[in-house]
Amino acid sequence: MLPLFCRAAPPRLHPPCPRHSTRLRLVVLPLLLLPLVGADHAQSKPDPKPIIRGILRYERRGVSAAPPTGLVTGVFVGAAAGVGSQRAVKGFFKAMSGAAALSGKSSTKDIHDLLRSTDNLDMSGWPVKAEYGADVSFTLEEGKDGVFQLKEGSVSWSTRNDTKIVLEGKDGNTHIFHDVARGQGSSALTPENSSITLRTEGKGKDATVTLDIDVKHTMPYDANALWSAMGGLSVLRIEEHAGTQQWHMNVLGQQYDEPPKSGEPSSGGFGYSRTTVLDSISRGREVWLNMYDSPERIEYQLFADCTAEIKRPIENDELAFDDKRPGKIEQYAKSEVIPDIWASAVRWVFPEIKGSKLEPAPEKAKGDSVPYTYTGLPDQNADFKFGDFVTDFDSKQATAAGCKGEKRPAAFFFSREANNNPGKPALPPGSSRSTPDPNWFYYWLQTKAAQGHAAQIRYSDGSDMARGELRCQPGGDYGVYLPETDYITVCNLAKVGFASRSYPGLGPVRNFHGIDVFGVTIRHEWQHFLDYRQWWGNPYGRYIDAFDKDGDKLPDKLEDSIVPPSPLNKRVAHFNPLVFDSALEGLGDEHTFAWAAEHEYPVGTADAEDWSCEGGHQAFSDKCKEVYQVKIGPPVKEVGPNQKVPE
C-alpha cells in the first residue's frame, strides 16, 4: 500500500518513498481530503432551518361570533347552523356540478361567497351583537417536505356578546332575553392545538403558495343569560364562569338556585386559507360574509426578518445646521418597518449634540417617520461628530417576534460661512464689530489647525482699521501681522474661496484648501510674529526703520549672517542688507521665511476635526464635501489626524 507520508531523506519518522510515489500521492490525497472538505463545510456551517414569522388580526361579528352561552343567542345560532348546514351541502353539490368552480387561487372568502350564493336568505340582520377578535403572532419552520409549519406562536383573543330581545306580548306578558358575555385572554399556539402551514405547489411562473390557518385556543369567559317573562314574574338566569355554569330561577317570588355544574371552558378560534401566487403571499387583507352571513375580516403579514431599517438619514449622512440664528437642523427620520403593522411601535433614539436642543423628547420619538429638530449650535467644535440614529421596537409582541432595530451613523456639520455660533468674537484691538466671527473661524480655532496659538489669533471681516488703513485689504488678504503686537489676524478666507497656493520657488508647488488654508495662513503670520520677536522685539523692543534701510524687516547689521530658508539657501548664502529682495524672488527677504514656513504646516492634520459644510473633511457626499478638484501636480504628503502639529 502507498504510504501517505514518506521520507525522501534519512529522518526515520516515515518509511522511504517508493518510486513515482509523489505523483500518486498528489492524486490520492485530494481524493481523501474531498469528503473531509465536504464534512467540514457541513459541520462548520450547519444550515439553520428556514424560518418565517407572521402576524395577523382576525375579527368576526354577528351570529357566528357569539360565545355558546346564551338563551336567545343559542336560538339564533342553532337556526344559523341549520341554514349553514344546508348551504354547505348545496354548495358542495354546486361546486361538484361545475356550476360555480373555484379557481386555483382562492381563499376562505371565495368559499363562503360560493356557499352563500346557494340561497337568498340573509342572516346578517339578525339582532345578535357578538364579536370575536384575535391577534396572532407565529413562527413557521420549514419541514423536510418543504412545507412551513407552525413552530410556536401566541394568540391574544377577546369575545363579547350583548344581545337583547324584548318581545311585547298581550296583557303585559313581556319577554326579555338578554345574553351578556365577555372574555379575553392569551395563550400559546403550539403544533398540538393549532396549525398554520405554508406550502408551495407547482414551479416557475405557475407556482402557487397556500397559507392554511387553523387557530384554536381555550376561551374562558364570563356570561350571564337572562330570560324574564310575564313582566318579571318568571326569571331564568344562567351564569357561567370559565365553563362552570349555574342556573337560577325565580317564579312568582320563589327563588330556586341549582348548584354550579363545573365544566371545561369553551374553545375559540378561527380558520383561514388562501392560495395565491408567490409575489402576493407575504401580506393579505380580506373581508367577507361567512356562510352564517357574519362578517369576517383578516389581515396578515408574513416576514422573514422583522426590522426597522433606517432609510433616512442615510448612512454617514451629513446634517448641517442652517444659516439662521439660532442655527437649526430640521429633518425627519424615516424607517422602513417590516412588517409595517409595527410601524407605530418604532422608537427612535437621536444623537445628542451638546449645547443643541433636540426635539422631540425621547418619549415622543415614535413611529416610522419622525420629524426632528436640533436648535442651536454647540459651543465646542468637538461636539460635532458622527452620531448614531437608533431604532428599536416599543412592543412586546414585536420583541417576541424577534424584531430588531438598527443603528445608522450620521454626521453633524456647521454651515461654514454662517456666523450663528454661540461664541464671542475674537476681535482685534480697536475693532468695534458687533457681529460674531464666522463659524469656520470660531470652530477651526479649536482645532489643530490653530497650532496651539488660538489665544493670539484674531479675526477681521475687513471692516476694521489698523494704523490708519483697513486691517484686511479687499481682494486677497489671508492674514495680517502688525509688528510690535503679540497677536496675528486672520482675514475673511471666504473672500479667497478657502484656496491658496504655495509661493513658487519656496518649497514644493502646492494647493491648499479649506481648513488647510486656515492652517497655512496662521503658520505664515505666526512666522512674521516669530521673526519680529527674534530680530526686533527681543533685541530692541520695537521695529526701527533706521536699522532696516532696505525695508525687508531684517536688521541690516545681521543680514549678512542670516541664511535664507530652504530651498533658497542652495542658491543664496545670505541676504543683502541693502536689497529688499536679495534672492530675486519678487519678495522681501523676511517674507521668504513666512512663505517657506507654510510648508511646515502638516496638510490634513486637522481633517478629522473639520465639520464645516461645505469643505469639511468629514463629509463624503456632494452635500458637504470639499468643492475643489484636485489638480495635477506632485503628491502632497498626507498627515494622519493623530500627528502632532509642530509648536
Partner 1 sequence: VNRRILLLVGAVVVALAAVFLLYRRSVRTAAPGNIIIQAIRNDTVPMSRNARGPKSRTAPPLDPARLPELVRDTSWEVRLDAAAMVLETRELPQPRRAELLLDALGQEISTPASAPPLTGSYLPRTGVHRLHYVHLIEDLGPAAAGPARNAMQKESGARREWATIALGAAGGRDAAPALRQLLRSSSEAAVRMSAAYFLGRLSDRSAIDDLRAALGDSATARIMSDDTGTRGRTLYPVREQAAGALMVLGVKVERNGNTFTSN
Q: How far is the CB of 329 from partner 1 (least distance, A)?
A: 17
Give the nearer residue to partner 1 in terms of CB position, either 53 or 160: 53
Backbone torsions φ then ψ of 571, nearest 5 degrees: -105, -30
* Cα 162 to Cα 79: distance, rounded to the nearest angstrom: 18
Q: Provide, rounded to whole angstroms, the least separation between the CB of residue 546 and partner 1.
A: 11
Binding test (CB under 8 A) with partner 1, winner from 3, 15, 16, 50: 50
Q: How far apart are CA 22 and CA 6, in angstroms?
A: 9
Distance CA 104, CA 40 (A): 44
241-249, 286-294, 355-363, 508-516 -> range binding partner 1 (CB under 8 A): 508-516
Cβ of residue 142: shortest distance to partner 1, in angstroms?
Answer: 4
Query: Which among 377, 477, 448 has a CA at the least distance from the CA of 418?
Result: 377
- Positive/negative CA dihedral, 598, 600, 601, 602: positive
DSSP 533: I
Among 12, 23, 45, 205, contact with partner 1 (rule: CB under 8 A): 23
Rounded-to-integer distance, Cα 576 and Cα 342, Å: 81
Distance (Å, rounded) from C-alpha 318 to C-alpha 623? 7
Window of 79-87, 260-268, 393-401, 507-515 that interacts with partner 1 by CB under 8 A: 507-515
Q: Does 582 bind partner 1 (CB under 8 A)?
A: yes
Contact in structure between 401 and 137 (CB atoms under 8 Å): yes
Alpha carbon distance 246, 224 (integer Å): 10
Pick 180 or 338: Cβ nearer partner 1: 338
User: Any contact of residue 509 with partner 1 (CB under 8 A)?
Assistant: yes
When binding is defined by CB under 8 A, the residue of 501, 539, 563, 646 that contacts partner 1 is 501
Contact 412, 353 (CB under 8 A): yes
Q: Which of 3, 15, 16, 30 binds partner 1 (CB under 8 A)?
A: 30
By CB under 8 A, the residues from 207 to 226 that bind partner 1 are 207, 209
Task: Please say which residue, 293 or 589, places its beta carbon nearer to partner 1.
Answer: 589
Q: Which of 292, 303, 342, 442 binds partner 1 (CB under 8 A)?
A: 303
HSE toward the beta carbon, residue 611, CA cutoff 13 A? 29
Q: How far is the CB of 485 from partner 1 (least distance, A)?
A: 10
Q: Under the criterion CB under 8 A, does residue 89 sit at the interface with partner 1?
A: no
Q: Which stretch binds partner 1 (CB under 8 A): 61-69, 172-180, 257-265, 469-477?
A: 469-477
Minimum separation from the CB atom of position 156 to partner 1 (A)? 23
Cα 36 to Cα 23, 31, 42, 485: the distances in Å are 21, 9, 10, 80
167 or 584, CB closer to partner 1? 584
Applying the rule CB under 8 A, the residues between 142 and 171 that interact with partner 1 are 142, 146-148
- Residue 87 vs 523, nearer CB to partner 1: 523
Residue 402 touching partner 1 (CB under 8 A): no
DSSP class of residue 404 equals: B
d(CA 304, CA 514): 47
Residue 420 in the binding site for partner 1 (CB under 8 A): no
Asked whether position 455 contacts partner 1 by CB under 8 A, the answer is no
Decide if residue 477 touches partner 1 (CB under 8 A): yes
Q: How far is the CB of 581 from partner 1 (least distance, A)?
A: 7
Which of residues 247, 288, 487, 543 is near partner 1 by CB under 8 A?
543
Return phi, psi of residue 218, to 5°: -70, 150
Give whichever of 166 and 304 is closer to partner 1, judged by the CB atom. 304
Report the nearest approach of partner 1 to the CB of residue 365 (Å): 21
Nearer to partner 1, 256 or 540 (CB): 540
- Cell numbers linked to 73: 343567542
Comparison of 61 and 471: residue with beta carbon closer to partner 1: 471
Query: Residue 305, interface with partner 1 (CB under 8 A)?
Result: yes
Identity of the amino acid at 1: M
Q: Which stretch binds partner 1 (CB under 8 A): 149-157, 169-177, 239-247, 477-485?
A: 477-485
Q: Quote the CA–CA distance of 478 and 555 in Å, as a whole number.
A: 26
- Residue 223 has φ and ψ, to the nearest 5°, of -140, 155
Q: Does 595 bind partner 1 (CB under 8 A)?
A: yes
Identify residues 166-195 at the interface with partner 1 (CB under 8 A): none
Identity of the residue, 209 or 418, whose beta carbon is nearer to partner 1 in the bound complex: 209
Applying CB under 8 A, among 150, 155, 587, 606 the residue interacting with partner 1 is 587
**Which residue from 1, 27, 546, 573 is in contact with partner 1, where contact means CB under 8 A?**
27
Between 30 and 169, name the residue whose CB sits nearer to partner 1.
30
Q: What are phi and psi of 288, to 5 degrees?
A: -155, 165
Q: Which of residues 105-144 bind partner 1 (CB under 8 A)?
A: 142
Q: DSSP secondary-structure letter at 13?
A: S
For CA atoms 119, 122, 124, 128, the dihedral sign is negative
State the Cα–Cα distance between residues 430 and 441, nearest whole angstrom. Answer: 19
- Chain centroid, CA 507 distance in Å: 48
- Does position 573 interact with partner 1 (CB under 8 A)? The reply is no
> Which x/- pattern, by CB under 8 A, does the window 270-299 give for partner 1?
--------xx-xx-----------------
**SS3 category, 184:** strand
Structural contact between residues 254 and 234, judged by C-beta atoms closer than 8 angstroms: no
Taking the complex as a whole, the smallest distance from the CB of residue 223 to partner 1 amounts, in Å, to 41
Kindly tell me which residue out of 320, 603, 606, 613 binds partner 1, with binding defined by CB under 8 A.
Answer: 603
Is residue 1 near partner 1 by the rule CB under 8 A? Answer: no
HSE of 589 in the Cβ direction (CA atoms, 13 Å)? 30
In sequence order, what are the residues at sequence separation of 6 or more whose Cβ sits closer than 8 angstroms to the Cβ of residue 64? 77, 80, 290, 292, 294
465 contacts 430 by C-beta, under 8 angstroms: yes
Q: Is residue 611 a contact point for partner 1 (CB under 8 A)?
A: no
- Helices 72-97 and 108-116 pack at an angle, to 10 degrees, of 100
How many residues form the binding site for partner 1 (CB under 8 A)?
Answer: 97
**Should residue 7 be labelled a site residue for partner 1 when binding is judged by CB under 8 A?**
no
CA distance 280 to 274: 11
Based on CB atoms, which residue is closest to partner 1, 295 or 505?
505
Q: Could you give the C-alpha distances from 155 to 41, 188, 244, 335, in angstroms and in order?
A: 39, 6, 23, 27
